[in-house]
Amino acid sequence: MFSVFKLLTKNASLEILNFAKSPFIKIQKNEMHSKVIIVGSGPAGHTAALYLSRATLEPVMFEGFLANGFAPGGQLTTTTDVENYPGFPDGIMGPEMMEKFRQQSLRFGTKILTETISKVDLSSRPFKLWRENAESKEPDTADAIIIATGAAAKRLNLPGEDTYWQKGISACAVCDGAVPIFRNKSLAVVGGGDSAAEESLFLTKYASHVYVCVRRDKLRASKVMANRLLSNPKITVLWNTLPIECKGDGKLLNNIIIKDTKTNEIKELKVNGLFYAIGHVPATELVKGQLELDQDGYIITKPDTTYTNIEGVFAAGDVKDKKYRQAITSAGSGCMAALECERWLSECAE
Ligand SMILES: Cc1cc2nc3c(=O)[nH]c(=O)nc-3n(C[C@H](O)[C@H](O)[C@H](O)COP(=O)(O)OP(=O)(O)OC[C@H]3O[C@@H](n4cnc5c(N)ncnc54)[C@H](O)[C@@H]3O)c2cc1C
């Protein structure tokens, strides 16, 4: 009886079996085998899902239940207008765009489960995956996995930060720098590395002036970037400076409070934008110790591919990309992961 039941429940995640309609047998099981499981539901995960489902590989996506602090759909669910994704000439709201991605994945048959994967075993095939709060149950299994768990920008958690997040505060100059609220306005950038230098220089295209708050009395940025930053007449570096509070009119940011880290002196800085350039954290806790990661925790993939060090495991999107971190590049690598996974399944998987 058990083995018949087990056979019947294969590929039937969370589905109640027909015979379970009986008042005496109503069983839900996690255990499921899939050709390919996608972990993560941002642009990378959904693009992979779209390609794999159109290729009739019946992908299963775990879209997460507030995984890594994000709603299903990922980082874009935390923003307003997305103006740089091709195909939307008037821009589109981030959550609406991700809902469209989701609908397109569903349309071709992707099975989407609103659950988080909390543990994986990639040591042998089929790979094993456990769902959050069901770690003691039998794992789901898959011949191939696409890791598309994304990343999160580091934040300072300042007073006022939640109120003005995306209403003057941003973690992406390339994404948000051109929006009207920042045009010809004074802006501030926090950070002293190459990203901070790059973001500050980018913002000079739009801003009247850019202040760069650097915690110490020197930059971590490379010499070339530091020279460009320091020689730009539209940029002032504020050494030994940390923002400690964000203020505004309740709708938009118009002021930050800064502190001198040496003298503890506190001042106001009238700016309409505050850009965090203090790094990102890739969501790789799940695969740490199993997949090869770089020193910042990003998954290492073979050059120009989405292949990881484990055959059958592919990585796409921000979780493997610390350079571009854009929706379009994530979607692009999701497409690559799907095509490479499809080829691998047909040629290599036993
Ligand atoms: C505020 C903001 C504004 C932005 N604006 C723009 C913009 O205008 N244009 C642009 O091109 N880019 C923008 N970006 C960047 C863009 O959002 C990212 O580059 C892109 O979303 C990365 O996509 P991704 O698929 O790699 O991952 P994410 O979007 O990070 O999505 C990953 C998803 O996986 C889920 N997940 C994580 N771990 C698990 C797990 N263990 N199990 C199941 N699910 C899991 C997460 O909950 C999340 O939903 C912005 C980013 C932010 C934060």
CA–centroid distance, 75 to ligand 1, in Å, is 3
CA–centroid distance, 270 to ligand 1, in Å, is 31
Report the interhelical angle of 43-54 vs 327-347 (nearest 10°): 40
Rounded distance, CA 120 to CA 350, Å?
Answer: 20
The continuous run of DSSP H or E covering 229 comes out as helix 223-231
Sign of the alpha-carbon torsion through 277, 278, 284, 288: positive
Residue 3's pLDDT is 34
Q: Which of 92, 149, 285, 333 to mutate to test the pocket of ligand 1 (most atoms within 8 A of CB)?
A: 149
> pLDDT by residue (tens digit) across 43-54?
999 999 999 999
* Over residues 80-97, mean pLDDT: 94
Res. 15 pLDDT band, cuts 50 70 90: very low
* Over residues 147-172, mean pLDDT: 95
Residue nearest to atom 7 of ligand 1 (CA): 175
For 308, the token pair is 């990881």
* Over residues 8-18, mean pLDDT: 34
**Is the CB of 172 inside a 6 Å radius of any atom of ligand 1?**
yes
CA–centroid distance, 239 to ligand 1, in Å, is 32
- Would the pLDDT of 211 be above 70? yes
* Over residues 93-117, mean pLDDT: 97
CA–centroid distance, 10 to ligand 1, in Å, is 31
Q: Which of 46, 70, 75, 179 to mutate to test the pocket of ligand 1 (most atoms within 8 A of CB)?
A: 75
Res. 31 pLDDT band, cuts 50 70 90: confident
- Would the pLDDT of 29 be above 80? no
Residues carrying an active site annotation: 172, 175-176
Residue nearest to atom 9 of ligand 1 (CA): 175
* Over residues 289-301, mean pLDDT: 97
Chain-wide mean pLDDT for the chain? 91
Residue 173's pLDDT is 93
* Residue 1 or residue 136, greater confidence: 136
Atom of ligand 1 lying closest to residue 84 CA: 9
Res. 18 pLDDT band, cuts 50 70 90: very low
- Answer for the pair 171, 275: CB distance below 8 angstroms, yes or no: yes
**Is the CB of 147 inside a 6 Å radius of any atom of ligand 1?**
no
Residue 4's pLDDT is 31
- Would the pLDDT of 100 be above 70? yes
Res. 26 pLDDT band, cuts 50 70 90: very low
Residue 348's pLDDT is 79
**Spatial CB neighbours of 295, under 8 Å, sequence gap ≥ 6:** none
CA–centroid distance, 318 to ligand 1, in Å, is 7
Name which CATH class applies to 31-152+280-349: alpha beta
- Domain 155-276 annotated CATH 3.50.50.60: yes
**Is the CB of 59 inside a 6 Å radius of any atom of ligand 1?**
no
> pLDDT by residue (tens digit) across 319-336?
999 999 999 999 999 999
Gyration radius from the chain CA atoms: 23
CA–centroid distance, 265 to ligand 1, in Å, is 37
CA dist list (Å): 320 to 45, 101, 235, 276, 286: 13, 21, 31, 20, 14
Q: Which residue has the tokens 């539901």?
A: 41
- Would the pLDDT of 198 be above 60? yes
Residue nearest to atom 21 of ligand 1 (CA): 75
Residue 115's pLDDT is 97
Res. 78 pLDDT band, cuts 50 70 90: confident
Please, where in the chain does CATH 3.50.50.60 lie? 31-152+280-349, 155-276
**Is the CB of 286 inside a 6 Å radius of any atom of ligand 1?**
yes
Planar angle of CA 300, 305, 311, nearest 5 degrees = 70
**Is the CB of 317 inside a 6 Å radius of any atom of ligand 1?**
yes
> pLDDT by residue (tens digit) across 231-275?
999 999 999 999 999 999 999 999 999 999 999 999 999 999 999
